[in-house]
Structure 1
Amino acid sequence: MRSGAASRLSVGRGLVCVTVAAVAWGTAGATAALAFGTSGLGPLALTFWRMAGGLVLLLAVRAVLPRRPARTRPCEPVRRRAGRVLVTGLGLTVFQAAYFGAVDGTGTAVGTVVTQGAAPVLVALAGRLLLGERLGTGGVVAVTGALAGLAVLMLGGAGSGTVRPMGVAMGLLSAAGYAVLTVYGRFLGREGRDRDAFSTTLTSFAVGTAALLPLAAAEGLWPRTDELPATLGLLAYLVVVPTALSYGLFFAGLTVVRGTTVTVITLLEPVTAAVVAVVLLGERLTATTVLGTAVLLAAVAVLAVTEARGTPAPATAPVGPAGSPDGAGAAQLPARPVR
């Protein structure tokens, strides 16, 4: 039985929580693009400030939340615990930093779509190769469709300048970081070594902040002073809304909404990112870019439906380190890349 707010959350409210989180995550790329312009910061420095600010907020939240009784677990050796924290922390760091690199390299709309579309496909493939999870005919079709959509994006958009290979490569690196994070989380779940999502997110932000500090310092840690108020406002929004608030809403919704349903709802993120990029940032999307985007996102939706039919999910899915449902057997689609 769940306690506290989670036990009082209806499925309808859970859906609202996940929807709001997805839309808020969709504004992260646009916020980063604006921050690049006002601050002069690079992707590594911007990610450092986001993770450092998120860490401070998460520590403040933990200080005021009532302590829940910990689940009884066997004692984990220090070396294995350190390895778990480092892998999840560095995986989240690569995912976050490379995503901002994709936004900087090829724009908000395309960078978000590539990351969001490639991540679940890479998770499905890695789960099949490393964990022996079943992919099935529907999964094969979905993976093939995702690759086709990515090819259309690359071949159709590169000539027009709307799609740049280096930015796409950063998006794929971001998706790979998330795949490592998620598949490792499933492995830990099978061994009974998984931890609650909040604690894992907290330690991951701590590892990311420490790992990014020297890299961000080399790139340029401090923003320009001529537009400092605007930069601070953008950083504050980035830390509070698409980070702390969205994580809280997402984890709350995930307690009562099927992981597969969450996956489909969070396709609102790349759609929101594309709309914001076109309307507010003036990014231009060609017909082939839109076609590739549609094929890629449709493939993710097909993969989600395939998983829903093949693997019945409980009303409350256990949450792994990436905020995704853990599962053995059929390759369950991750709830979403935690932006």
Structure 2
Amino acid sequence: MASSPRQYQLGLLSITITAILWGSIGIAASMAPPVRPLTMGAAAMGCGGLLQALSALPSLYHARALLKKYGLYVLLGGLAVAIDPLAFYTSMHMSGVAVSTVVSLGSAPLFSAIIDTVMDRVTLGPRWYLSAALGITGIALLCFAERTASLSHHAAPAPIMGIILALIMGFTYAFYSWAAHRLIQRHVPSRAAMGSIFGVGGLLLMPVLFSTGGAFLLSWHYIAAAAYLAVIPMLIGFMCFGYGLRHVPASTATTITLLEPTVAALLAVFILGERLPWVGWSGIGLIMLSLICVTSPKKGNNA
């Protein structure tokens, strides 16, 4: 059933809100400096994933037979969900919020295309190769900029390792999205698909949180930062995204979420005081062009 103009506008607004909420993750994580990145990532995605599973309990119950039948996708997707925040939050610590966010999101569509090709035998077209070239060039410029900054003693602790971890996050994000899509293709309701994958990921992250979460006891501010990440970007952000996808084409939704790295970069510069040479900003620009190229509406069947 087609969406009404009002529903379409609300869908656009929901996706925009999602991008802004996701873009605030780095700022919120920086509010608890004594908390290890692994711990903050486990708290945010772990608790957020369990909250998503709880909110989807009725759907999970009705889809239990299908989820059991296709349990491998749930387990693999959940494993990717568990790895995702551990890589991303550590990456932000090592290379900065702006660089980590742009690299992870810029690489995710490229990894998605590779996963589709390997798992579903999708043929890649010229647009994907152009996007890959732009993205790889952008990441290379970022690495060069961070290396130059480190020689001048103005860089994050381990920028190159941080970029590698951001790429791992991009891959895991693409993989659990693919797993959820596979479940939905097999007639699992979207709430059940997302709830099951994020629920498994949340459970896998609990041992990390329990074994390293002592720093949260140092201040209520640190607990508040973790609660914000779990409830606002993770739970409410994904709920807004799900609503938007019901009324806005996926290609449009994906393009709107390009606001996220822009928001994250601007917040990192103006609030956290991060600095990036012009070469680094050129790299971010190329990654954004890569995203626009790979997510813009396609003509014909070429990827």
CA contact (8 A) 2:53 2:195 kept: yes
CA contact (8 A) 1:154 1:165 kept: yes
Can you give the 5+ residue segments of structure 1 that lack an aligned partner in the other structure? 312-328, 332-339
Matching residue of 2:247: 256
Matching residue of 2:81: 92
Q: CA deviation at 1:76?
A: 4.4
Q: Is it true that 1:295 corresponds to 2:295 in the alignment?
A: no
- Counterpart of 2:176 in structure 1: which amino acid? L
CA contact (8 A) 2:60 2:196 kept: no
TM-score by length of 1: 0.79
Correspondence for 1:24 among 9, 21, 25: 21
Matching residue of 1:144: 133
Q: Is it true that 1:207 corresponds to 2:204 in the alignment?
A: no
Secondary structure in 2 aligned to 1:10? Answer: helix
Question: Number of residue pairs matched?
Answer: 297
Distance, in Å, in 1 between the alignment partners of 2:210 and 2:220 is 21
- Counterpart of 1:47 in structure 2: which amino acid? G
Identity in percent = 26
Distance, in Å, in 1 between the alignment partners of 2:200 and 2:67 is 19
Matching residue of 1:310: 299
Distance, in Å, in 2 between the alignment partners of 1:299 and 1:32 is 27
Correspondence for 1:284 among 251, 275, 294: 275
Q: CA RMSD in A?
A: 2.8
Distance, in Å, in 2 between the alignment partners of 1:92 and 1:129 is 20
- Counterpart of 1:237 in structure 2: which amino acid? Y
Report the more deviating stretch, 134-143 or 107-116: 134-143
What does 1:6-17 correspond to in 2, within 5 Å? Answer: 10-17=7-14
- Counterpart of 2:230 in structure 1: which amino acid? V
Can you give the 5+ residue segments of structure 2 that lack an aligned partner in the other structure? none
What does 1:78-89 correspond to in 2, within 5 Å? Answer: 78=68, 80-89=69-78
TM-score by length of 2: 0.87
Deviations 1:75-130 (A, max 9, x none): 5484x433222111111222222111211111110010010001111111222233
CA contact (8 A) 1:44 1:212 kept: no
- Counterpart of 2:190 in structure 1: which amino acid? A
Structure 1 residues 214 and 57: alpha-carbon distance in aligned structure 2, compared to 1, 3 A threshold:
closer
- Counterpart of 2:258 in structure 1: which amino acid? L
- Counterpart of 1:25 in structure 2: which amino acid? W
CA contact (8 A) 2:87 2:169 kept: yes
- Counterpart of 1:44 in structure 2: which amino acid? L
Correspondence for 1:117 among 106, 109, 133: 106
Higher relative contact order (CA 8 A, sep 6+): 2
**1 or 2, which has the higher helix percentage?**
2
Correspondence for 1:170 among 165, 172, 184: 165
Matching residue of 2:224: 233
Distance, in Å, in 2 between the alignment partners of 1:239 and 1:301 is 29
CA contact (8 A) 1:21 1:249 kept: yes
Correspondence for 1:272 among 249, 263, 274: 263
Structure 1 residues 100 and 184: alpha-carbon distance in aligned structure 2, compared to 1, 3 A threshold:
same
CA contact (8 A) 2:180 2:194 kept: no
Q: Is it true that 1:50 corresponds to 2:44 in the alignment?
A: yes
CA contact (8 A) 2:50 2:202 kept: no
Deviations 1:197-238 (A, max 9, x none): 3222322232223212333444x2222544x12112212211
Distance, in Å, in 2 between the alignment partners of 1:160 and 1:62 is 46
Structure 1 residues 185 and 229: alpha-carbon distance in aligned structure 2, compared to 1, 3 A threshold:
closer
Distance, in Å, in 2 between the alignment partners of 1:17 and 1:77 is 28
CA contact (8 A) 2:75 2:200 kept: yes
Correspondence for 2:214 among 214, 222, 225: 222
Distance, in Å, in 2 between the alignment partners of 1:156 and 1:167 is 13
Q: Is it true that 1:103 corresponds to 2:83 in the alignment?
A: no
Q: CA deviation at 1:300?
A: 0.8
CA contact (8 A) 2:135 2:286 kept: yes
Structure 1 residues 7 and 240: alpha-carbon distance in aligned structure 2, compared to 1, 3 A threshold:
farther
Distance, in Å, in 1 between the alignment partners of 2:19 and 2:171 is 20
Distance, in Å, in 2 between the alignment partners of 1:254 and 1:143 is 26
Correspondence for 2:146 among 151, 157, 177: 157
- Counterpart of 1:142 in structure 2: which amino acid? S
Distance, in Å, in 2 between the alignment partners of 1:309 and 1:276 is 32
